[in-house]
Amino acid sequence: MAVAQSVVTRLLIIAAAVLLAAGGGAAWWIASAEDPVTTDAIGDSVQTRARGQLPVFAVGPREQALYKFAVERPDILTFIPCVCGCVDFKHTSNRSCYVKDETADKITYTSHAVG
C-alpha cells in the first residue's frame, strides 16, 4: 500500500510540474501574440512591451533582475561600456544590450544581453 501511495504521490508531483510548465509556456505564447518578438538586423530578438512589463526572453530570476535594473537605472548602465564588442552594432553602453529604444509608455527590449 505504501508503494502505491508513493507512486501516486510522484505522479501528482509530475502532473503539477507539467501543468506549471504548460502554464508558463501559455503565458509566453499569449505575451508574444500581444507583443510579438521579432528579429533585428544583427539577429537579436526584439520585443516592445508596455512600461512595467519585461520581455518574454527574460525568463529566469537573474535575467528578470538584470532587465529591471537596466530599465530602472539608466544613470548607471549608460556609463558602463559594453565588453562584448557590440560597439560595432552601434551600442553606446551596456544598457544598449538590454534596451533598444523607449518612449514614455513603451520599452523595446533586445535579447543581446541574454543571447
Helix (H) or strand (E) holding 106: strand 106-110
| Dihedral sign of CA atoms 6, 8, 13, 18 in order | positive
Amino acid at 3: V
First-last CA distance in the chain:
49
Cβ neighbours around 32 below 10 Å, total: 14
DSSP string covering 20-80: HHHHHHHHHHHHHHHS-EEE-TTS-EEEEEETT---TT--SHHHHHHHHHHHH-HHHHTTS
- What pLDDT, in 10s, does the model give residues 31-58? 456 899 999 888 889 999 999 999 999 9
| Confidence (pTM) | 0.69
Q: For residue 107, list its beta bridge partners.
A: 49, 102
pLDDT in tens, 65-93: 999 999 999 999 989 887 777 767 777 88
